[in-house]
A and B are shown apart, each in its own frame.
Chain A
Amino acid sequence: AQKVTQAQTEISVVEKEDVTLDCVYETRDTTYYLFWYKQPPSGELVFLIRRNSFDEQNEISGRYSWNFQKSTSSFNFTITASQVVDSAVYFCALRSNSGYSTLTFGKGTMLLVSP
């Protein structure tokens, strides 16, 4: 069985602060994929990044960066110099590579960035 845990329910920061969103996962599969999605107030889930289990290189995209550590089953997401537009709910998700596997989501972390 797959499980994704996002322990932080809500985080509030002031604009320009850095913020890290935590994600811990459980899976018995050796090959799997991790994802982060953003859900702004409009409601649509927006894909941010995909990471496969055999590539532990960290990734940076503008103000976003992701830290994947297989040893601790974590896939954390950092926003540098946060902006008000970053306010949203962020979801971490997991899918194995076996068959037609399910995309399993965590409960999400609501990020509030105030000016």
Chain B
Amino acid sequence: EAGVAQSPRYKIIEKRQSVAFWCNPISGHATLYWYQQILGQGPKLLIQFQNNGVVDDSQLPKDRFSAERLKGVDSTLKIQPAKLEDSAVYLCASSWTGGSTEAFFGQGTRLTVV
């Protein structure tokens, strides 16, 4: 079974530029998550999708971050414009529906904003 795919693995941009990350979840997984992990901290949920609908985006900085999940499969997370404090690893994960199911994570995208 293929895992969660993310691209790119690394990205360096200047502040005020825009950037986009892509995620392809495990086939059949209805739930998709985007987490932000700042160095030395635990992952923080940015947005959670159930199929192509948003179920939690309470911690997403909506003035600069946006995400979509077209057709309930792939997802894109965008930052525009980026700030220095957005430097982090962005992790995508997917799971079957339900609280009991574990989430499977991709390798993440390491973003550096200079």
Q: Report A's interface with B, CB cutoff 8 A.
A: 4, 6, 31-33, 35, 37, 42-47, 50, 52, 91, 95-108
Q: What are 20 A-B contacts with C-beta separation under 8 Å?
A: A31-B99, A33-B99, A33-B100, A37-B105, A43-B107, A43-B110, A45-B93, A47-B102, A50-B100, A97-B99, A100-B48, A100-B55, A101-B99, A102-B45, A103-B93, A105-B42, A105-B44, A107-B40, A107-B42, A108-B42
Q: How many residues of B contact A (CB 8 A)?
A: 28
- Is B72 among interface residues, defined by CB-CB distance under 8 A? no
Q: Number of residue pairs across A and B with beta carbons under 8 Å?
A: 62
Bound CA span A108–B26, Å = 25
Bound CA span A43–B96, Å = 22
With contacts A32-B99, A44-B105, A44-B107 taken as known, whether A100 is within 8 angstroms of B42 at the C-beta atoms is no
Minimum CB–CB distance from B49 to chain A (whole Å) comes to 9
With contacts A107-B41, A107-B42 taken as known, whether A100 is within 8 angstroms of B103 at the C-beta atoms is no
Minimum CB–CB distance from B103 to chain A (whole Å) comes to 6
Bound CA span A29–B89, Å = 30
B31 and A108 contacting across the interface, CB-CB below 8 Å: no
